[in-house]
Amino acid sequence: MAGTELTVLTLEECVVLLAQGGLGRLGVSVAAMPEIFPVAFCFSEGDILFRTGTRTRLHSATQGTVVAFEIDAYDPDERSGWSVLVTGSCSEEQDPNRIADARQRLSEGWVPGDQDHIVRITPYKISGRRICQAR
């Protein structure tokens, strides 16, 4: 976009944005096809945690796989925004304390129904960008 500039976010800036939690998008491969799922998440001890049910495509697709996770914000009036991209491995959280904390922090599920499993994304790579009007 003319009149805008793009900057790379530092790891620290990315972590601050992730720590806010909220809604993100999880990219996984399901039967060798890419799919993207919106997930409510929290950031805990450097990992991304979200809830899912046992019999979902999302649960089966995230067990022991490498995934992409993205959060962003955009203001069309200001022509500004940012995005953070995480690449990492997924596994079911096993620590009872982290499970209890995640369930409390994610009490409102994104999707109705049974979401009794907490999935953890352990990041391999975290990167981010910000776009804003040129000065």
Does residue 86 fall inside a structural domain?
yes
Does residue 131 fall inside a structural domain?
no
Does residue 27 fall inside a structural domain?
yes
Res 67: pLDDT: 94
Res 77: pLDDT: 86
DSSP, residue by residue, 8-39:
EPPHHHHHHHHHT-EEEEEEEEETTEEEEEEE
Does residue 101 fall inside a structural domain?
yes
Report the CATH number at residue 53: 2.30.110.10
- How many domains, the chain? 1
Give the DSSP H or E segment for 100.
helix 96-105
Structural domain boundaries, residue 78: 4-64+73-125
Ranges in the chain, pLDDT < 70: 1-2, 54-61, 107-115, 135
Helix then strand then coil, % of the chain, to nearest 5: 20, 55, 30
CA distance 63 to 51: 13
Does residue 87 fall inside a structural domain?
yes
Does residue 134 fall inside a structural domain?
no
Q: Which amino acid is at 84?
A: V
pTM given for the model: 0.87
